[in-house]
Amino acid sequence: MGRTSSCCSKGGLHKGPWTAREDALLVNYIQQNGEGHWRALPKKAGLLRCGKSCRLRWMNYLRPDIKRGNITADEDDLIIKLHSLLGNRWSLIAGRLPGRTDNEIKNYWNSHLSKRLAITKDNAGETKKESNGETSNTRKPTEVSSFCNDDNSSNGIGSELLLSSGNQGGEDGGSRGGGGETDQLGVNGDEEIIEKVKAGREELEESGDFFDGCEGLYKGLSWNGSENGERVDEIEDDSYQQLLNLEGEDYIQLESFIDYFLI
DNA sequence: AACCAGGCCAACCGCCCAATT
DNA sequence: CAATTGGGCGGTTGGCCTGGT
């Protein structure tokens, strides 16, 4: 892609790995003044870095709530499930893995999971061939085939809703355009689809069926902000195992649930 | 011991959106 | 309404590390 001029290339700013001294300066400043105002921060903190670089360093490495160490098997499984639902929306996935950063998850996916799943998929393909194309209506946790790109036949509601999530944007700053994602979600200002989705939502809200279904499924799960139809951005630690245990119809309902609240 | 290839991951990049001017 | 600014995102790079030869 080429690295041309950027904020970091302006007038003698440092690039590359951070030193311990720079880390200390950044941490001290944020502890005293809080996060934000990244563009002005470097000057005030006495750093020769651009604001974006400072923000990235803080968010991905210095934040006190960052969880260090290897991704656990539970987290691994949850990442796979969430990726199958959300695609490459790393920040959203990270939001459901307390202490993990989007960058970390993205790296983990690219270096571990994508390869592993490619192999799994290959094997599944061969198996499928052998069994003469018989398919299952149950989406297994590790059977990732980007939900967004599937035919989504398992769940009309969820898939339609997902279509509109691309440019509605929530506090995640909106799923970014930048190409891939918008295409992946099939959103390009198609008013007809959006109207269809809205109508579908209204219908669900009126009937209450959707919430009734979810209520049973998510009883006990600590979804933040799920009570009043608000977006769900984070999930409590102790909900992992319950999520991981979801399979079959329950898992399909989970897809619908997330799709709904991500709009 | 030296070299090489591949993997990992911190950091940078360009782009986008929302808020502000 | 247009331009600017600030913040955030996903994609990509490149240096370091490790294992194999």
Which of residues A195 and A134 earns the better pLDDT score?
A: A195
Question: Nearest nucleotide by C1' from A2 CA?
Answer: B13
Which of residues A104 and A190 earns the better pLDDT score?
A: A104
Residue A242 predicted with pLDDT over 70? no
Query: What does DSSP assign to residue A13?
Result: -
> Which one, of A95, A91, A36, A87, lies nearest residue A65 by Cα?
A95
Rounded-to-integer distance, Cα A20 and Cα A7, Å:
22
Residue nearest to nucleotide C9 (CA to C1'): A176
For A230-240, write each residue's pLDDT tens digit.
333 344 444 44
Query: What does DSSP assign to residue A219?
Result: T
pLDDT of residue A177: 32
* pTM of the complete model: 0.58
CA of A178 to C1' of C3 (A): 22
Domain extent listing, chain A: 14-64, 69-121
Q: Do domains A14-64 and A69-121 have the same CATH topology?
A: yes
> Would you say domain A69-121 falls under CATH 1.10.10.60?
yes
Residue A89 predicted with pLDDT over 50? yes
**How much is the average pLDDT of A83-91?**
80
**CATH number corresponding to A14-64:** 1.10.10.60
CA of A148 to C1' of C13 (A): 28
CA of A66 to C1' of B6 (A): 28
Which of residues A50 and A166 earns the better pLDDT score?
A: A50
Question: Nearest nucleotide by C1' from A168 CA?
Answer: B17
For A186-209, write each residue's pLDDT tens digit.
333 334 434 444 454 454 444 444
Place of tokens 């929306």: A89
